[in-house]
Amino acid sequence: MTFGEKLQKLRSREGLSQDALAELLNVSRQAVSRWERDETMPETEKVIRISDHFHVTTDYLLKDGLLKDGPEQFPPASRPLPEPGSLWDKYGFVVGYLLAALGFPWILLALINLFDRNIWPTGMGLLLSLVGRGGFFAVTGLLLARRWRRAGRFRRQDLGWALICGGGLLVFARLLTILIDWTLKASWFPDDLQNAPLALIPLLLGLLLALLPPRRPREPKTE
């Protein structure tokens, strides 16, 4: 088997797309495609990162015909105990789903109260507040989990964009709450703005994280 065939086999076994692998290695999808077609070879640093991610030796990747008995057999030394960082990159997206699960009870509570005629119309502000809080966790968690699972690892920019979407929904719901309460009361009360600035915190934090430049991969030390 050539290097490209082995790389394609390992990638397929992990369920990664060429885009996802390219993002893990900080290269373009075209570069991964050329590697798998054996048109070019990756740099030494990339080969080491590939071997670390797929838990195989560099000898297995670089030596043709190392395994002729079957493509699914791998060297015994290629399966060390997984490192915590590797497990976090692979399964950390579950945190996003747990975060999303926190928001659904608020949304469900708002839907249940929506059919309560006693809450109309003065309770609409409360319903929107519940939807805003629940939607913040649900949207942020689902976006983060989906992006994390696709990319294969946690990135600062991914969290930033998730917070922007979730925080924007929270701010929008809060503004609607204030508008409805102000319309029904036909006057303005300072209590309407209680906790309103807090809704801006996740939005501003998300903008900060999304605008920060991506971290450059560490260069391997050479002696």
State the pLDDT at residue 176. Answer: 77
Top CATH class, 3-80: mainly alpha
- Structure tokens, 173: 């719901």
State the pLDDT at residue 177. Answer: 73
Per-residue pLDDT of the chain (223 residues; tens, 9 = 90+): 788 888 888 888 888 888 888 888 888 889 999 998 888 888 888 888 888 888 888 888 887 744 444 444 444 444 555 555 666 667 777 888 888 888 888 778 777 776 665 655 556 666 777 778 788 888 888 888 887 776 666 677 777 878 888 888 888 877 777 777 667 665 555 555 566 677 778 878 888 877 776 555 454 444 4
Burial class (CB in 10 A: 0-12, 13-18, 19+), 48: middle
The backbone torsions φ and ψ at residue 155, rounded to the nearest 5 degrees and listed phi first, read: -130, 145
Kindly give, in sequence order, each residue whose CB lies less than 8 Å from that of residue 91, ignoring residues fewer than 6 positions away. Answer: none
CA dist list (Å): 163 to 16, 98, 157, 167:
26, 15, 10, 5
State the pLDDT at residue 104. Answer: 84
Cα 172 from Cα 3, distance rounded (Å):
52
State the pLDDT at residue 15. Answer: 81
Task: Report the run of H or E that residue 161 belongs to, with start and end.
Answer: helix 156-185
Cα 3 from Cα 56, distance rounded (Å):
12
State the pLDDT at residue 80. Answer: 53
* Residue located via tokens 């968690």: 141
Domain borders along the chain are: 3-80, 86-211
Under a CB-based contact definition with an 8 Å cutoff, are residues 10 and 54 in contact?
Answer: yes
> What does the CA dihedral 51, 16, 149, 73 come to, rounded to 10 degrees?
-60
State the pLDDT at residue 122. Answer: 57
State the pLDDT at residue 76. Answer: 45
State the pLDDT at residue 123. Answer: 62
- Structure tokens, 125: 């502000």
Buried b (16+ CB within 10 A) or exposed e, 110-129: beebeeeeeeeeeebbbbbb
